[in-house]
């Protein structure tokens, strides 16, 4: 949580600097001639040690390691828009602004002091929650497996069929297509040529379908079809259909190993909330809280 807040602060400052940099860079580049890569000399790459100082003023220094650590925090989508030199300039600007604010005694301004105190309190609370709740709570393999065994329906894949569909607007068209298919025409070719459904471009292929994921008029038919058999014409609110299935997958219980991680992620927030509630109750038990709720009514 603390890192997230720091990242948001960093990005906010970073975006302001990036905006200023973009404007100055664009205006600067407008007056420059483009230099051909063919005439540029190849520079030898030097591997500097991390403690190398790359900027300093007063008692402020930035090492190569400092810059690289800050560079790692830059969101990937921004790294294509800036260089490390831009980031170094931003770090220097931040330090200059901070020193100027301190020199003007802003830290002791009553309003700012309250904001600093509030932010400090929030950071301390977040640190406590991370230590006593988030870091101290986990879901054991035994707990995850117990949940898995007690909720088999949640981890059972329903029976599925690989469905192909031809849909047209009239029953007459559908009957003509059905006769063509019975005479030996390829289902996918006919679907591609004549179906008005969105799967026409794929030869009518709708992929694997579970019974409870499709309208009943179709579901009741396709789960009783034999593989490679062709259905009779079926009317739905969307039009008239001729259907075919090419494969069946029986109902199957997923293995514990394949769902273990999802179980842990589902159970963890509940355990963390319980740990948080216990922490609050424990802290309340250490003090005597007197309430006067009359003014709240």
CATH code of the domain in which 182 resides: 3.10.50.40
Instruction: Give residue-wise pLDDT tens across range 78-110.
Output: 888 999 999 999 999 999 999 999 999 998 999
pLDDT at residue 45, as a whole number:
63
- For residues 212 and 260, membership in a common domain is answered with no
- For residues 240 and 278, membership in a common domain is answered with no
Where in the sequence is the domain holding 69, given as residue range(s)? 2-24+47-104
Domain count, the chain: 3
- For residues 168 and 53, membership in a common domain is answered with no
Instruction: Give residue-wise pLDDT tens across range 185-203.
Output: 999 999 999 999 899 999 9
User: With 80 as the cut, is the pLDDT of residue 21 above it?
Assistant: no
pTM of the predicted model as reported, rounded to 2 decimal places: 0.57
Q: Where are the alpha helices (DSSP H) in the chain?
A: 2-30, 64-73, 76-79, 84-103, 110-129, 141-150, 171-182, 187-194, 216-222, 256-285
- For residues 273 and 145, membership in a common domain is answered with yes
Task: Report residue 165: phi and psi, to 5°.
Answer: -135, 135
User: With 70 as the cut, is the pLDDT of residue 50 above it?
Assistant: yes
């Amino acid at each position: 949580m603390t890192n997230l807040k720091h990242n948001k602060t960093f990005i906010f400052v970073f975006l302001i600097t990036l905006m200023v940099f973009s404007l100055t860079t664009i205006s600067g580049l407008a007056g420059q001639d483009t230099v051909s890569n063919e005439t540029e000399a190849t520079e030898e790459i030097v591997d500097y040690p991390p403690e190398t100082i790359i900027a300093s003023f007063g008692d402020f220094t930035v090492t190569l390691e400092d810059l690289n650590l800050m560079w790692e925090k830059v969101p990937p989508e921004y790294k294509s828009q800036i260089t490390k030199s831009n980031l170094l300039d931003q770090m220097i600007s931040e330090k200059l602004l901070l020193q100027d604010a301190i020199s003007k005694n802003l830290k002791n301004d009553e309003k700012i002091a309250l904001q600093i105190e509030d932010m400090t309190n929030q950071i301390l609370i977040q640190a406590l929650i991370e230590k006593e709740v988030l870091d101290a709570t986990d879901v054991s393999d035994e707990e995850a497996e117990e949940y898995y065994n007690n909720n088999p329906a949640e981890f059972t894949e329903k029976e599925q069929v690989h469905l192909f569909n031809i849909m047209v607007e009239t029953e007459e068209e559908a009957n003509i297509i059905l006769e063509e298919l019975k005479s030996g025409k390829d289902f996918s070719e006919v679907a591609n040529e004549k179906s008005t459904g969105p799967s026409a471009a794929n030869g009518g292929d709708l992929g694997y379908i579970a019974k409870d994921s499709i309208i009943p008029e179709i579901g009741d038919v396709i789960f009783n079809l034999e593989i490679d058999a062709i259905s009779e014409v079926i009317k739905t609110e969307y039009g008239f259909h001729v259907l075919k299935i090419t494969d069946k997958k029986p109902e199957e219980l997923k293995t514990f190993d394949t769902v273990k991680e999802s179980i842990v992620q589902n159970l963890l927030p509940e355990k963390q909330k319980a740990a948080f509630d216990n922490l609050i109750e424990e802290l309340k038990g250490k003090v005597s809280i007197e309430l006067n709720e009359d003014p709240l009514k």
